[in-house]
Structure formats: C-alpha cells, structure tokens
Amino acid sequence: MNKIHLIGNAHLDPVWLWRWQDGCNEVMQTFRSALDRLKEYDFFVFTCSSARYYKWVEENDPVMFAEIQDAVKQGRWIIVNGWWVQPDCNIPSGESFARQALYSQTYYYEKFGKICKTAYNVDSFGHNGNLPQLIRKSGMTNYVMMRPSVHENSEMPKDVFWWDGIDGTRILTYRILNCNYAVNGKENLDKTIKFYDEYVENLNHDMMLFYGVGNHGGGPTRADIEYLNSILHREGKPELEFSNPEKFFSEVLLDGADLPVWSDDLQHHASGCYSATSMIKQQNRRVENLLYGAEVFDTIASKFYGSDTEKEQLKEAWEKVSFNQFHDIMCGCSIMEAYEDARDSFGYASTVAQNVMNKATIKIARNIDTWVDGVSEPYSEVRHNSGHPEFAKPVVVFNPLSYDVSVPVRVYQKSRNVKDSEGNFILHQNIRSSRSNDSHQDTLFIADIPAFGYNTYWVDGPDETAKEFISEIKTENLTIENSFIKASFDKNSGGITELIDKISGHEYCKGKILAVPTIIDDHETDTWAHNVFTFHNIKDTMNCESVELVEQGPVRAVIRCKFAYNKSTLVIDYILASGQKTLRAKCKAIWHEDFTILKMPFDIGGSDAINTYAIPAGFIKRPTNGEEEPAGRYGDITATVDGKRVGLAIVNDAKYSYDCIDTELRLTCLRNVIFADHYSDRPPANFNFTDEGLQRFEFGIYLHEGECENSDVEYESQIFNIRPTVVLESFHKGNLPQKQGVINIDKDNVCVTALKYAEDNSGDLILRMYETKGKNITRVAVVSDIFDFGFYTDIHAHEYKTFRIGKDSRVLDTNFLEGLT
Amino acid sequence: MSTIKIPKHLNRFVTFCKDGDEIPNELSSFVPQKPDLKGFPYPLPSAKSEYTCFANQGDIVWYGATTGLTRYDKNAKRDADRIMYFSADRYLYDNNVLAIFVDGDKVWVKTETGVVCIEMIPMTAEEKAHYMTEETVKYVTRHGMISHKYLREARNLDSKLPYGECDNDGGFTAGHAIGEIYKYAYYRSEYGDNDPRTVKAKKLATDSVEVALLCMNITGRGNGFAARTFLTRDEPVPDGYFFKKQGDKAYCIASPATLRRGIAGMVIDASTPVPDRLARHYRDEGYCDDDIIYKGDTSSDEITLHYMMMLNAYDFLVDDDDELRQIIVDTTQKLTEHIVDNEYRLIECDGKATLWAKWHEEYFTTPDGWADACLNSAELLMYLKVAEHITGDERWIKEYDYLINERHYDDYMLLHKDRFYHASYVLGCDPCEEMMYGDNMLAIMSYWGLLRLEKDEARREKFIKGLRTWDHTLLRETTPGYLFPLKSVYEDMPIDKEATIDWFIRFNPSRLASGVTYDRADVPIQPMLNGYKLTGWLLNQEERFIAKYDRDPLRFTKGESDTRKVEGSYVYTMGYWIGKFYGIIDDEE
C-alpha cells in the first residue's frame, strides 16, 4: 500500500504583509521552534528552504546556527531549495537563477557540507518552461511546487510527474494538492489525511503531506506532531511516516511506476502579478542589466592589469537582487512599505554595479592610446565645453554584449562632427538634451563596437569639412522611415496607421490603427487577479492630444504622441534611428486611474498565429488564446498574412506581461491596483496603488519575416536592454589600441550572460551562454587572445552552458556551481 | 532528401620509423622557432604557450607543441578541416614535438621518443571502404568471424595473435555481414551479376553470412540455440560458459562462471550436424568438429543482429543460392521455435534462461527488466516478423499479433526514454552514464526490421513513436550506421548532411586502435554526476578513440590507448554500403 510522507515544514514569507525585518524575526523564531521540536521528539524531521534564512540565523544567532548545522548533520533537519529565496519563477533572468544557485549552494556546501538536491517553490505562482534546466544546472534533480492548482490548470499531471523543459532536461516533480502546503491543527490534519487516504488508493506511488504553521512562519506545533505520531499506523489505511522530500522522491523512483511526462511550462496563477508594481519589475531588469555589464568589464579590466576584481561587492549586490526576486516581492503583491525597502536595496545593487562599471571602464579607457601630437593641455582640453576647441575629444564607448553592435550613442555635449578611430567622419546629429542650459544639445552618433569590447570616437573636432552624408532617415509629415521600417502616425488617435517592414515589403496595419493606448477595467480583481486569466474588459482608449514630428536629422527622427485620459497622461516618443531595425518608443506616463491596466496593442491580422515569448535564457511558444502571459524581454506575434509568415515583436526594457487575442499582441504597460489586496472586500481606506504616479519605460517594435526564432529578436532585445557605456577620455599614451573586442564567438545564436572569475579565487574564468534560436549548433568557436583561450563546443537547442576556463587554457563544461561539486 | 555527396578527402597515413630506418638529416638540424600565434582566429588543440616550433607546407602550417602536432589550413573548404590535431599514440610516438621537416607531401615529425612520417593521401569514401575491408579480412578475422584482434607487437598488424575471442563475435560478424550484403547488392544493381566487383563482393558477403550462421548452428544441440562465438582446440579458453564438442556430445568446461552456475562438467547433446557449407570455415583450416569449443549464455545482442543479418541475406543475397537460402530458413525457424517454445527466452543447458536473452513479461517486472522491456519488446516483435517473412510460417504472425493485441508489447516500446531516465535517476547518475551503448544498435536493428516489414499504418505509426524515444541517444552521435538503416524505412529520420560528410571523410582508414590525446585546450570536458566525462563537442573520428558500436563517441578518455589491438571495419562499411545502396550517399564525381 502507498505511504503518506509527513513533511514538517514552515512556509516562510520573509516579506509579504510585513517588511523584511519582521521576516527575519519570523525566521529566527520559527527555526528556534523547530530546533526545540527536534529536541523533544526524536522522530521529528524538519524541512526548510532558502539560503537567506540560514544566513540570517548565522548573522544574528551563531549559537543557534551551530545547532542547525548539527541537526543537518544528523539528517533531521533537511535543507531544500538551493536558491537564495523561493523566487518568482518567471521574472528573473537566466543569469539570476544561476546566481540564486551559485551563492546559495556554495553557502550550503561551506556551512553544511552538502548542497540541496531538491528544488522547492511551494508558493511561487508559475514556473517557466526552462526551469527544469535551470534546476538541474543548480545541482538539483527534484522539484516541489504547488501553483497553479488543479482548478487553474487541470491539464498538467496532478501529483508526481516528469517535467521536461524546453531543452529536454527532465526533472522529477511533485505538485502539492489543494494548497496543502501548511496544514496545521487536528481538524485540518484529519481532513487532509482523509483526502490523501482516498487519493493514494488508486495511485502507483506515495504522496507528501506538508504540515506546519506557515506563511508568516511558525512551523509544526507540539500538538500536531504528537497527534500525527499517534496515528502513524492505521489499520487498512496508508501508513504515515515522518519524512522529507528527498526520501519521498527516492521511494517514488524505487517503486518503478511509469509516471506521466509534462512538456510545457506550469502556468497560470496570479496572472495580474506580472504587471503589478511596475517599479519592482523595472528595477529588477535594470539592475540585472547593470550587474552583467559591470562584471564583464570588471573581469576584462582585471585581466588587462592583473588587478583584483570587485567580486565580493558584486556578490553582495547579487544577493540583494536575489532576495528581491522572492515571489511576493517580485510579483508586486506585498505591502507598499516593503517596496520602499526593495527599492533601497535595488538602489544599493545598482550603485555597486555602476561603481564597478565606472572603475573598470575608466581603468581601461585611461590606458587606450589617445595621444594627439600638439596637445598641450591633455586634460582641460577635453573638458572645454564651449568655444572653438583645437582638438577633437576622444570618447570611448563600451559594449559588454557578446554581439558586435552598431547602435546610437549619446555624448552629453554638442559636436560639429564625429570621427572614428581611423579618422573617418561618421554619421552624427545634435539632439535636444535633457538639460536646459548652454546649447541644450547632446551629440548622437552611430557607434560600431565589437563584442566584449570598446571603440574610440572623436567628437567635436575643428575640422569642419565633414563628409556630406546621405542619410537613410526620411520624414514626411507624420511619417518616419529608415532602410528597415516605415511608420506613419495618425494625428487623431496617436496610433500607427502604416507600418512597413521595408525588407519584406509587408505592411502590418492594413487599415487598422496600431498602438492606441488602451485602458482595461480591473475593478473586479485583487492584486493577484485570483482566478482571472484574461484582461479583456476594455474601459476606453486614451485620447490623443497631439502628434508631432519633434526631431529629424541624419541619425534619427522622433515623433511625439501625447495622450490623456482624465488626469492621466502618457507621452510616447517614437524614435527611429539610422541602421536600426527596432522602432523605439520612449514612454512617460503619469497615472492616476485606479483599478486599471494600460495595454499597447498591435493587431497584425492573418491566420495560423502563434506567440513567442522570452523566458529566462530561452523562449517558449504559446497559443494566441488571450490569456495573460508572463514574458521577459520580448513578446512576439507571427501569423500567415497574404500567404507569407510575418511577425511583430514588442521588445521592452522593464515589463513582464503580455496577452494576445487571436492576432492582436498587447504589451501590458502598467497595472494600477491596491497593494496587497488579497481577496479583500476593501473596507474603505486611503489606498495606495501599485502603479500610480510617474512611470518611465521603453518598448520597441521589431518586424520580421518568417518565424520569430529565426529572426534577430533575441539580438534586438539584448541591444534594447543593454546599452553602451560612454567615457569621455583625455589625451594620453597607452598600451591599448583604440578599438578592441576581447572575446569572439562565431555563431550568432549564442548569447552570453556572464563573464566573471570563479568564486573560489582560483583565477579561473567563468563564461556562461545559451542558445537562442531553438536549434542545435555544432562546433561553436569561442576565442580570446586576451584571456588566452580558444575552444569549440556543441550547444543543443536551448542549452544553457557554463564554462570554466583554467589558467592553463583547459576548459571545463560545468554548471552554475562552477565545478564546486 | 537529395543524395549526400561525399567528397574525396585527405586521409592520414603515418609511418612509425624504427631503428635503422632512413630519416632526413634536416630533422636533426632543425632549429625550433616559437610561432607567433597572437590573434590566431581559431581555437587550437594546444594552449598557445605550449607551441614550440612550426614548419610551412605551402599554405599549410604545421605547429609543434609539447602536447602534440597541429595542422592549420587557412584555405580549408570545410570548417572541420581547418585545424587538425595529431597526437600520441595514433600519430606520434609521444606528444612532445621537437622538430618538423616538410619534404614535399611528407611531413617528418620528431618527438622525444621517435620519428614518424605523415602523409595526407586523398581517398574517396568508397576507396576507404575497400581499404578497411581488406585490412579487416587480412588481419581481424578469426575463423571468418570479425570483431577485433590483438597484436604481439605494437602497431604491427602482421604480428596478429591467432586467438582472441570476443563475447559478441557472432553479433559483430552478423553486423559485418550486413555491410557486405549491401555492398554486393549495390554492385549488383549498378554493374550486374558478372562484374568482377559484384563477384568479389558476393564472395565476401556469402563468407560472412556463412560464418554468422555457423555461430548459430555450431552447438549441434538441434534446438535452435545459437552460440556467442567459438574457439578451436589450440586457443586458450577464458572464463565463461564454454562447451567442448566431442562426438555427438558436448561437455561444459569448468570455469569460475560455470561452477557458479552449477553446470561445470554437464554433458549435453551435440548430435545435430553442422551443415557442411558452414563447417568448411573451420574444416578448411584443418580443424574437425571435435576441435570446436563454443561459448554459450548467448545474449539478445547476437540474436538481434543475427535476425537482421538473415533478413538481409534472404532478401538480397540468396535468390540464386538455394542451399544457403534453406540454411537461413531452417536456422530462422529453429531459433524462433526455441524462443517461443521457451516462453520468450533463450534457454541454456540447465533449463534456465541465459542472463541477457529474456523477452518475457515476468522479466519486465524485475528491476533489471523494467527498463529493458522497451527494447526487448521491440526485439521480440522484430524476430517474429522476420521469421514470418523468411519461413512463411503463419505461427509467427499469430504470435506477433498476440503480443501486440493481447500483451501490448508495442506499448512498452513507447516507454523507452521515460524508463531509461527513471533508471538513471534511481542510480543517481546522468542518463549517458547509465546508457549501454550497444543497445543503440539493437534498437536500430529492431526498428529497422519492424518498419521494413510492417505494412499496417497504425502499427507503423506506433513503432515510429517508439523509435523516436531513442532520439536522445541516437541523434547525439550522427552515426550513419544507425541512421541509414532507419532512413531506408522511415522517410522523416533526420540526417545532418554536413555532419554525415564529416563522419565519412574524417574516418580513420585503419582500425588500429591506438589512442589519441583528449587533454586538449579546444575541447571542454563535461563531468557527469557519477564521474563520467564527456567531450564538449563530438570529435571527428580521426581524433577520438576507435571502438565498435558499443561506446559513447562523446566519452572523454584519458590514457586509453591500445597499439596492440585492431578493430573490424563494420562501423564504417555497414553504414557506407547501406547508404550507397539506398541512395542516401554517394561519392562525389
């Protein structure tokens, strides 16, 4: 007969309806309680997740921490979830998951002599389709989850199953039934056990019952433990056993039952959470991007100069990010005060990243040979901001991406001209700056920067004989175009009435107006939008107040659309730059509409439509069924129109939610609901709303022919998010050339997410990358002269690889833990 | 899919100089100069700091390092040909390159312990197939059986030892025979019966088939039991289940294995004569029936390969050879009767099943059999389908229908990937560590037979689903010997054109199993859960270990080298000739 494994646990939310300080205390008290129960009952076993909690105990009560270490050694305290917290499993990037694992599992290994084998997210709202791989690469092989519940997704296997990720990685997964993750009290225990008694009768494997006071901590009580101990062996009924998840999984395997296989993501629960509290989402993306770039150049600078890296600082910054990725924080459903804390800690992480980046780029830039014969004032000459400078000023632009880029770059001063490092004039334009003094103008030019590298440009030189450029930027009335896109705007609605992919020739509007900001009524849901999976109740569209061409030049043209609705406003600057395939939309909203969602729709028409959404280190296909979908840097709609497959992707720098009704893809720009409004009947109060006030964000429109994954959408979304860093340099000799790329990867469907040194201070290099088009690739060449390595690798479709490169140039293909285990 | 054209390509031929051989003086007077590799655009097999010298050969540069030799052809048409790596033991005496001298087409390389001469000689894929077959026939056969041979002296094929059985001789010989059958079929269809190529191919194919059938008939038990392999009186008998024939009896030789099983000394029937046509393969060597010692405890490996050998021989080889055809029919009938009458098992002399030849459901419920069920069910269905095709006996199709309709053997086939992963989880290892690579070929054979003979669309669809549960193992290798048989019966079997070309053009012409160096700067090592290691990319044949179809080609090995072993050629020849016959590949004009 099958068994019911009793899992003593405490569901600990470090932040939710309380701030982190209370969460810390909650952990301390719960752990004390659990330790006391272990002493009192020699059969009791306690299971708990999250490295952050253990670290809190270590920091605040080393004596208690030593007790926990002892209990772990005895096998009575089971650590699960080799991550910093139980994060949201849709929003963090692939690299964030890697860091969750790296810092946690190394912590566990150091403190407890082992790593976790069981991933554990009993409350996280959804689980992206790449999670099996992310879990395996974290050193874990089993997974405990709960949401979505059966009533939210009845197609998924109900309890134990093999879960296949997008790359084919398979993990053994257990789904907690009926939200039974914190059963406590005799009555609830009886009810749950009765349910399981009947349930396991028809099964070919055991089940788990999670007991213990939870959400705000607590853990198993004496009464519950004694009661359960008294009913372990019941005549004719399944046996109960004090157990732990690892034991459960091991017994399921030994049972030899054929288990169902699930090959899709695990969604939906709390569909509203992927757009609520835009601030936290924006901070997350922004800081992830900043940390990536900072670490890349910190590593490169360290290599150039043999200096120490800022590894410890960056680790601390990542720990802040990891904490803020806790599901109740990242999903925007905690109390308002908690977001002030989160903003502070993201601010800390952001400052660290920017300091590190600054230090590294200055170090590199100062050693580039920028000397010009005849310069007598090498420092003050470049600081000269008016009049007639004698020499062009060197500007170094840094690109941390693994792709070569050709993108607009801004220098905060006006220029007569711009030249590249070979002395050729290049396209530039003086544009309105954000300041209102002196010339009010900045310089914009298109910079070509190698992957993992930099390039030096020379601005505002005395040579006035600039080449006459034939710019591809054209404007006429309210139409802007370059060699890739043509977009025309409607002065009445502010939307797009003509949108042409100039490569394929396809026109996307076909009589419809795209990109009219649409307001959805959201009165009837709570912060999570429990049991609501679509947001189709259109309240209105925003009124267009003006559409005007505000800028035109050889580098870019800008059309500004202003909208208003009641007291809310939205200004969108549509920016089309030379050589760019994405039409950028820079948005500034001042929002006062309570219980609303703002969406930006694009209906491309056609048939056989399919959505493609960015997920952590990958992408997933979804049907265009109108459900709200979590997604990362892009969402795409591709359909057959006029016999051709064409697509439109919306890339973004701060958003995580889309929907698509048939062929209309909509970016969810903001969601303004009450903070932490949980099934509430809302007794009157001066409510605070999650997205009220000023919101700045950007999205972009990228057009393509053929299926999404065969296009450059990944590249476009990367350059949209990670922009070059600009350093105004002085004149000096140096041992570095004016242009250099440090690592070359010869295939374009590979994206790097980390370049760093190994955490163990060995001096080994870590390079992490994933395949972006869902295709197997063989013999990818990865070469670096500076770092003195060169290797080939096969990468399977969607595979996420971490390489550890030794000082002897030998390479280990390892996992997120860098070869720790 | 259009025919893949295999271009003529350079192949590596290495002469290992011995004491007394003439060696150019330039080698001794060579002054090493460290190459400037700053900015070199491609990964190199040695770290840049390890390179110590170089020599030019036109546009090609040979770089010597303390860790081997690198050939760089900046004009190479194929990506994989741009950088070639030569290492010990296969191409050098050791890896510390001290001097390089280019003399026209010859490249002399001196290392710490010796001198070699390397020549890159162009060959077509077909020329290579013939070269390898000749090497195999001359050096690897033992009483006509083909698996591998050991040498008395390192790298000296002429010093082959006359003995050296292998557990799966019968199976490997059957695999070799399949390749030869297709060579004959190809030449026959292209050039007709009387072309000398056809005539020669027919002889080789017929010989191989006869020897494989000999393994199946040599026991004399008369009950269809096939032997794994056989020895003659003057060969050493290793541990295992060996039976010595004596008149119309055979007795079980005492050994640790047979003592454990309790059958040592057992006397069993051997009165059924071996057909003369088959027995000539040892009688012509001067042995008589009483000189034969055969190995029992036969596994499904042999049985599966034998069935497909018999099917292919029946369909392509024996339409004008009544005698051999009848032997095939009789052997098929007897073997199938044995399996079916013994409740889907191969039964040893003590009435119990052999260790690895069980296809019955009771076995599928055991810990070992639970994962095996998926392959074994496919095997058994294939045996019955082939038996029905060859013998025409309706009993076999009834048995086949019963197993599908009543016992749902086709459902087991769908569970391969799931149970395989499950089993690896139980063992706490990564799937590739748990994998029995030899099983890949057994799966290929089973599905090949089933899809070739089954005409019912619903059943075919299910078989294809079952086949595709093997994708995770089959498609990671790009091995023609796996993919081509399947392609011939299943249109949608994916074949990577470029990888296929690379496979053929970069295959070693010689099967001397000297090892190569895996500790390379351009090859990441991927450790698995239980200590097994993989290479980060699938190395070309010339730069990885030489083995049969029974080892993971992605396996990272260190120090594994056997300069005293030569493998048979069927890894290449079977795939090649099947590909040629079905038009999947052809040599470029």
Pairing assessment for the beta strands A170-175 and A142-145 based on DSSP bridges: parallel
CA distance B170 to B230: 9
- Which chain B residues touch A812 with a CB distance below 8 Å? 524-527
Is the domain spanning A3-269 CATH 3.40.50.2020? The answer is no
Q: Is the peptide bond before A148 cis (omega within 30 degrees of 0)?
A: yes
Length of chain A: 821
CB contact under 8 A, B47 and A808: yes
Q: How many CA atoms lie within 13 A of A81 on its CB side?
A: 26
Residue A141: closest CA among chain B residues belongs to which residue? Answer: B425
- Which chain B residues touch A803 with a CB distance below 8 Å? 524
Question: What residues contact residue B489 under an 8 Å CB cut-off, 6+ apart?
Answer: B447, B448, B451, B452
Q: Is the peptide bond before B89 cis (omega within 30 degrees of 0)?
A: yes
CA distance A163 to A144: 11
Q: Encode burial over B325-341: b for 16+ CB neighbours within 10 A, e otherwise.
A: bebbbbbbbbbbbbbbe
Question: What's the mean pLDDT in A581-595?
Answer: 98
Q: Does ipTM come in above 0.90?
A: yes
Q: What is the dihedral of CA A135, A138, A140, A141, to 10 degrees?
A: 50
User: Can you tell me whether residue B525 is helix, strand or coil?
Assistant: strand
Closest by Cβ to A813, choosing from B42, B519, B536:
B536
CB contact under 8 A, A785 and B38: yes
Specify the amino acid at residue A525. T
| Residue where the block lists tokens 């890896």 | B95
pLDDT in tens, B295-335: 999 999 999 999 999 999 999 999 999 999 999 999 999 99
- Which pLDDT belongs to residue A465? 67
Tell whether A168 lies on the interface with B, counting CB pairs under 8 A: yes
CB contact under 8 A, A162 and B80: no
- Which pLDDT belongs to residue A384? 62
Which backbone phi and psi does A370 adopt, to 5 degrees?
-120, 15
Tell whether B80 lies on the interface with A, counting CB pairs under 8 A: yes
pLDDT in tens, A788-801: 999 999 999 999 99
User: A519, A565 in Cβ contact below 8 A?
Assistant: yes
A247 has pLDDT over 80: yes
| Residue where the block lists tokens 């549509």 | A574
Question: Which of B78, B522, B552 would you mutate first to test chain A, the one with the most A CBs within 10 A?
Answer: B522
Q: Which stretches does DSSP call E strand in A706-743?
A: 725-728, 739-741
CB contact under 8 A, A782 and B43: yes
A698 has pLDDT over 70: yes
CB contact under 8 A, A790 and B526: no
Tell whether A595 lies on the interface with B, counting CB pairs under 8 A: no
Whole-number Cα distances in Å, B566 to A18, B107, B355, B506, B569:
72, 25, 28, 18, 9
Closest by Cβ to A813, choosing from B80, B472, B524:
B524
- Which of A251-260, A446-455, B50-59, B578-587 is the least confident region? A251-260
Question: Which of A248, A747, A778, A818 would you mutate first to test chain B, the one with the most B CBs within 10 A?
Answer: A778
Question: What's the mean pLDDT in B348-360?
Answer: 96
pLDDT in tens, A483-528: 999 999 999 999 999 999 999 999 999 999 999 999 999 999 999 9
CB contact under 8 A, A253 and B426: yes
Question: What residues contact residue A741 under an 8 Å CB cut-off, 6+ apart?
Answer: A404, A450, A451, A452, A453
Q: How confident is the model at residue A307 (pLDDT cuts 50, 70, 90)?
A: confident
Residue A741: closest CA among chain B residues belongs to which residue? Answer: B39
What residues pair up with A207 in beta bridges, in sequence order? A4
Q: Encode burial over A533-543: b for 16+ CB neighbours within 10 A, e otherwise.
A: bebeeeeebbe
User: Can you tell me whether residue A814 is helix, strand or coil?
Assistant: strand
Closest CA to A658 of A610, A601, A722: A601
Q: Rounded to a whole number, what is the distance in Å from the CA of A776 to chain B's nearest CA?
A: 10
Percent of all residues in chain A with a pLDDT value above 70, rounded to a whole number: 99
- Which pLDDT belongs to residue A681? 82
Residue B36: closest CA among chain A residues belongs to which residue? Answer: A785
A676 has pLDDT over 70: yes
What is the side-by-side strand order in the sheet with A518-521? A538-541, A518-521, A596-603, A664-672, A657-661, A629-630
Q: Rounded to a whole number, what is the distance in Å from the CA of B128 to chain A's nearest CA?
A: 25
Q: Rounded to a whole number, what is the distance in Å from the CA of A812 to chain B's nearest CA?
A: 5
Q: Which stretches does DSSP call E strand in A68-218?
A: 77-80, 118-121, 142-145, 160-164, 170-175, 207-211
- The topology under which CATH files domain A743-821 is Immunoglobulin-like (2.60.40)
pLDDT in tens, B470-503: 998 888 888 999 999 999 999 999 999 999 999 9
- Which pLDDT belongs to residue B478? 85
CA distance B266 to B255: 12
- Which pLDDT belongs to residue A385? 56
- Which chain B residues touch A781 with a CB distance below 8 Å? 42-43
Tell whether B531 lies on the interface with A, counting CB pairs under 8 A: no
- Which chain B residues touch A789 with a CB distance below 8 Å? 521
- Which pLDDT belongs to residue A813? 97
Closest CA to A8 of A250, A216, A208: A208
Tell whether A169 lies on the interface with B, counting CB pairs under 8 A: no
Q: What is the dihedral of CA B528, B534, B535, B539, to 10 degrees?
A: -160
Question: Which of B526, B533, B535, B544 would you mutate first to test chain A, the one with the most A CBs within 10 A?
Answer: B526
Q: Rounded to a whole number, what is the distance in Å from the CA of A814 to chain B's nearest CA?
A: 6
CA distance A581 to A577: 8
Tell whether B44 lies on the interface with A, counting CB pairs under 8 A: yes
- Which pLDDT belongs to residue A391? 86
- The topology under which CATH files domain A389-469 is Immunoglobulin-like (2.60.40)
- Which pLDDT belongs to residue A388? 55
Tell whether B455 lies on the interface with A, counting CB pairs under 8 A: no
Question: What's the mean pLDDT in B517-536?
Answer: 94
pLDDT in tens, A97-121: 999 999 999 999 999 999 999 999 9
A387 has pLDDT over 60: no
What residues pair up with B374 in beta bridges, in sequence order? none
Q: Encode burial over A641-673: b for 16+ CB neighbours within 10 A, e otherwise.
A: beeebbbbbbbbbbbbbbbbbbbbbbbbbbbbb
- Which pLDDT belongs to residue A325? 98
A377 has pLDDT over 80: no
Q: How many CA atoms lie within 13 A of A471 on its CB side?
A: 22
CB contact under 8 A, B537 and A172: no
Q: Rounded to a whole number, what is the distance in Å from the CA of B467 to chain A's nearest CA?
A: 17
Tell whether A807 lies on the interface with B, counting CB pairs under 8 A: no
CB contact under 8 A, A778 and B499: yes
pLDDT in tens, A527-560: 999 999 999 999 999 999 999 999 999 999 999 9
CB contact under 8 A, B524 and A791: yes
What residues pair up with A573 in beta bridges, in sequence order? A560, A586
pLDDT in tens, B122-162: 999 999 999 999 999 999 999 999 989 999 999 999 998 98
Q: Rounded to a whole number, what is the distance in Å from the CA of B42 to chain A's nearest CA?
A: 7
Closest CA to A664 of A600, A725, A707: A600
| Residue where the block lists tokens 């969750």 | A100
Closest by Cβ to B521, choosing from A162, A790, A803:
A790
Tell whether A781 lies on the interface with B, counting CB pairs under 8 A: yes
Mean pLDDT across chain B? 95
pLDDT in tens, B414-465: 999 999 999 999 998 888 887 888 899 999 999 999 999 999 999 999 999 9
A583 has pLDDT over 70: yes
- Which of A208-217, A561-570, A739-748 is the least confident region? A208-217
Tell whether A788 lies on the interface with B, counting CB pairs under 8 A: yes
User: A330, A91 in Cβ contact below 8 A?
Assistant: yes
Residue-wise DSSP of B98-133: EEEEEETTEEEEEETTEEEEEEEEEE-HHHHHHHHH
CA distance A542 to B561: 75
CB contact under 8 A, A811 and B524: yes
What residues pair up with A802 in beta bridges, in sequence order? A768, A814
CA distance A605 to A490: 19
- Which pLDDT belongs to residue B589? 85
CB contact under 8 A, B48 and A809: yes
- Which pLDDT belongs to residue A533? 96
Residue B425: closest CA among chain A residues belongs to which residue? Answer: A253
Question: What's the mean pLDDT in B57-79?
Answer: 97
pLDDT in tens, B544-554: 999 888 889 99
- Which pLDDT belongs to residue B30? 94
Closest by Cβ to B538, choosing from A254, A259, A794:
A794
Q: Rounded to a whole number, what is the distance in Å from the CA of A32 to chain B's nearest CA?
A: 34
Tell whether B453 lies on the interface with A, counting CB pairs under 8 A: no
CA distance A240 to A190: 12
CA distance B457 to B465: 12
Percent of all residues in chain A with a pLDDT value above 90, rounded to a whole number: 90
Tell me which CATH homologous superfamily contains domain A474-721: Golgi alpha-mannosidase II; domain 4 (2.70.98.30)
Q: How confident is the model at residue A221 (pLDDT cuts 50, 70, 90)?
A: very high
Closest CA to B52 of B124, B120, B104, B100: B100
Q: How many CA atoms lie within 13 A of A693 on its CB side?
A: 6
A685 has pLDDT over 90: no
- Which pLDDT belongs to residue A215? 77
CA distance B437 to B272: 36
**Cα angle A801, A806, A811; round to 5:** 40
Residue A274 per-residue DSSP state? G
- Which chain A residues touch B43 with a CB distance below 8 Å? 781-783, 790-792
How remote is the C-alpha of A288 from its chain's centroid?
A: 7
Q: What architecture (CATH level 2) is domain A273-365? A: Up-down Bundle (1.20)
Q: How confident is the model at residue A413 (pLDDT cuts 50, 70, 90)?
A: confident
- Which chain A residues touch B49 with a CB distance below 8 Å? 788, 809
Which region, left, alpha or beta, applies to residue A774 given φ > 0 means left and ψ of -120 to 50 means alpha?
Answer: left
Q: Which tokens belong to B272? A: 């059924």
Residue A740: closest CA among chain B residues belongs to which residue? Answer: B39
List all residues of chain A from 740 to 759 with a beta carbon under 8 Å from chain B: 744
pLDDT in tens, B241-252: 999 999 999 999
Percent of all residues in chain B with a pLDDT value above 70, rounded to a whole number: 100
CA distance B457 to A202: 35
Q: How confident is the model at residue B166 (pLDDT cuts 50, 70, 90)?
A: confident
Closest by Cβ to A254, choosing from B426, B522, B537:
B426
- Which pLDDT belongs to residue A467? 65
Which range of A54-58, A372-376, A471-475 scores highest in mean pLDDT? It is A54-58
Pairs of CB atoms within 8 A across A/B = 92
CB contact under 8 A, A168 and B472: yes
CA distance B318 to B369: 37
- Which pLDDT belongs to residue A674? 96
Tell whether B521 lies on the interface with A, counting CB pairs under 8 A: yes
Q: How confident is the model at residue A216 (pLDDT cuts 50, 70, 90)?
A: confident
Tell whether A307 lies on the interface with B, counting CB pairs under 8 A: no
Closest CA to A359 of A403, A309, A407, A323: A309
Q: Rounded to a whole number, what is the distance in Å from the CA of A251 to chain B's nearest CA?
A: 9
What residues pair up with A552 in beta bridges, in sequence order? A557
Tell whether B76 lies on the interface with A, counting CB pairs under 8 A: no
Q: Which tokens belong to A681? A: 């009947």
Q: How confident is the model at residue A466 (pLDDT cuts 50, 70, 90)?
A: low
CA distance A661 to A601: 10
